[in-house]
Chains A and B, each alone.
Chain A
Amino acid sequence: MYDADQNRTENRVGQADIKIAAKNVQVYYGETHAIKDVSVDIEDRLVTAFIGPSGCGKSTFLRCLNRMNDTIPICRVEGDIHIDNEDIYDKRVDPVQLRAKVGMVFQKPNPFPKSIYDNVAYGPKIHGLAKNKSELDDIVERALRRGAIWDEVKDRLDAPGTGLSGGQQQRLCIARAVATEPEVLLMDEPCSALDPIATSQVEELIDELKQNYSVVIVTHSMQQAARVSQKTAFFHLGNLVEYDETEKIFTNPQDSRTESYITGRIG
């Protein structure tokens, strides 16, 4: 999968179409300095992977990109983050609008206590994406198919989403996120609860999404990062240690910490 994409990817890296540009980002939780001066450019139409040991700030940084940290009262974000050359922390930017554009799949599955159908239809309804019921039905079906869960739930769309298994819930949340057609999709360990078959289906989805969108994925699986991403960022203790093309990170890391991590010596 990775090899097949390689040519096209490398072409594009040259002309670097930057979707998200983060400069000198600092994040504090009260006194804790969770993200230390991170600058990173995330390109459009490819998959960027964030890797790093637990607690190093991957989720925190990801949540800065759609201002989800605004919901945590003690969290303070400094620095600039531009998406499509627009400062997302500018006062004029409406975080609600931003989050419609930058969708997110959370680390822990969090389906609403509603039916499976309503879970997926929630975003499209809010944003008025469907003109009528049958259009909405189509959107829901398409999203569930892309979330690789359609076959399992097509006969019980009225059952509560909270009644699904953990892995099914995670795929439901993926379907829910793609149903609103975001331009950027942030996925925080989307496959941590999935079996290998569902994982490969989700990876296929990620592959498909990158035709049009940019995808940022946090993962603890080196293989997954290598399989799906074109660029990889390695975080360690709140610092961005290394950010480069995935192949380079995995074959020829510049920093010794990166090397120890991917070979399994720290983490």
Chain B
Amino acid sequence: MSTTLVVLIVLALGAAGYVLGRGRALREVNGDQRRLHSLPSYYGTNVAMKTVVPAMLLMGIWLLAQPLIVETSVRGDLQDEAERQNRSVSLMMSDVRRVANGLDVAVSQGVMTRERASNMRTEFTDVRERLGQAGVALGSDVTSAVLRAAQRYRAISGRADLLRTGVVLALALAGLAFGLRNSTAGYRARNVVESGIKILLILAACIAILTTIGIVLSLVFNTIEFFRLYPASEFFFSTTWSPSFGGGSELGIIPLLWGTLYISVIALIVAVPIGLFAAIYLSEYASKRTRAIAKPAIEILAGIPTIVYGLFALLTIGPLLLRVFGDQTVGWMDAGTAVMTAGLAMGIMLIPFVSSLSDDIINAVPQSMRDGSYGLGATQSETIRQVILPAALPGIVGAILLAASRAIGETMIVVLGAGAAARLSLNPFEAMTTVTAKIVSQLTGDSDFRSAEALVAFALGMTLFVVTLALNVAALYIVRKYREQYE
């Protein structure tokens, strides 16, 4: 039975449970709803919840765990064979998975009978060709060990699938029965549903947190792996970045961090004043109608994909800067790609970010503050400068820090606008590159994934993560402190 079908059956059981639970509770009080502890729909929901949720949870966990368990049992068989062939077990394992999958496809398309798939031998059949007929392309010939392992894999999986279907359906039925038995007039279905909902929400929160932890851990482990291959002191303090996949690379992060910082600072110098002034205009001076038009118009900027800003940098800003600062005039700039180009494009990208957040923050300053200031005979700009901005300042700083962490993490604009040369220079018209751009280039070649040159990407990512995390924490801290002021 396919997983989808099982899910549908469980859902159908849940729907039935809803109707039955509701009906049972109502019947017990002869339809007099007021004698029930909770509204009838709560009794229905209670039964449906008990039918569906545990069964689905079990199925989810089982589906995640099953391949792992099946693989460990098949893996044991492959151990000897792998040693003989001098191949790694995990590579063979992926062959096994592919063949097993291929057999599944072949059977489901009717190219092969079920028995044949379980019994055929490489000695008698060209498995690769047969699977090719079913549209499953294999990279190399299938050895007999792999085929046998694949067949065992299928057998175990098949048994496990059957068992899973049975257990899940049994659990759903048990939940249904249990829920129905409870559906008496005095049962506090409302409270049970309430706590059920709470548990559901907690689960969602846990998943969000666990995935984050997983990502961080994978970063950490790969970073540690990298530091085994490459000294940390060189990574953090060397001022050259010249990876070469033949060996003898220098992987100093300083030029990359410098580029990141330089571009971000230029971006913020562009975005903060423009964004902030736009926010002040929108929230304090603009009429309602202007605001209704201008605010969404500015926010549209935020919806433009960064690659488009990258193109804009490459095709418009770069040539423009080159005309102004290039060889024909002052000669500071040799090519369109430069820190300035990327910084300007990124600044434009960040304007709506700063303005929209600041606008919300300025609007959150209570009207009574403005009244107090106007009532003392202050002008509008005095009020803004001396009352509103100081009151909103922590929030605005928070917004700027959030914008900064976006600038630091930005990649596409840098790749297209700033060039690829890792360089430590003060001239903003020279090409430089950033941490993010280098992460991309270190992982997109066809390099050995276990080499220092590839693993450095994780160390770079980790550094970036720590920097942006620190910025975000600072921003959150400031924003939270600000919130307390009027409460």
A interface list, Cβ under 8 A from B: 66, 68, 71, 73, 96-101, 103-104, 106, 108, 110-114, 122-123, 126-127, 162, 173, 176-177, 180
Minimum Cβ distance to chain B for residue A33 (Å)? 22
Within 8 Å CB of B390, what residues of A? 113-114
Contact B391 A106 (CB under 8 A): no
Minimum Cβ distance to chain B for residue A96 (Å)? 5
Q: Which of B9-32 contact A (CB under 8 A)?
A: none
Within 8 Å CB of B374, what residues of A? 68, 71, 96, 99
Q: List 12 A-B contacts (CB under 8 A).
A: A96-B374, A96-B377, A98-B377, A99-B375, A112-B372, A113-B369, A114-B390, A122-B378, A126-B376, A162-B486, A177-B375, A177-B376
Contact A100 B485 (CB under 8 A): no
CA distance A198 to B3 in the complex (A): 76
Which chain B residue has the least Cβ–Cβ distance from A113?
B391
Contact B391 A103 (CB under 8 A): no
Contact with A along B369-390 (1 / 0, CB 8 A): 1111111111100100011001
Q: Which of B386-415 contact A (CB under 8 A)?
A: 386-387, 390-391
Within 8 Å CB of A122, what residues of B? 373, 376, 378, 386-387
Within 8 Å CB of B373, what residues of A? 112, 122
State the interface size on chain B (CB cutoff 8 A). Answer: 22
Within 8 Å CB of A68, what residues of B? 371, 374-375
> DSSP class of B's interface residues: helix, strand, loop or mixed?
helix
Contact A96-B378, Cβ < 8 Å, known A112-B391, A113-B485: yes
Contact A112 B382 (CB under 8 A): no
Which chain B residue has the least Cβ–Cβ distance from A173?
B372
Within 8 Å CB of B378, what residues of A? 96, 122-123, 126
Which chain B residue has the least Cβ–Cβ distance from A74?
B288
Within 8 Å CB of B485, what residues of A? 113, 162
Besides A97-B377, A101-B377, 12 more A-B contacts (Cβ < 8 Å) are A71-B367, A71-B374, A96-B374, A106-B371, A110-B369, A110-B371, A110-B372, A112-B369, A112-B391, A114-B387, A123-B378, A162-B486
Within 8 Å CB of A106, what residues of B? 368, 371-372, 375
Count chain A CB atoms within 10 A of each CB in B366, B368, B376 and give the residue with the most: B376
Within 8 Å CB of A162, what residues of B? 485-486
Q: What 4 pairs across the A-B complex have the smallest Cβ distances?
A: A100-B377, A110-B368, A104-B375, A123-B376
Contact A103-B376, Cβ < 8 Å, known A71-B370, A122-B386: yes
Which chain A residue has the least Cβ–Cβ distance from B393?
A113
Contact A112-B375, Cβ < 8 Å, known A106-B368, A126-B382: no
Within 8 Å CB of A113, what residues of B? 369, 390-391, 485-486
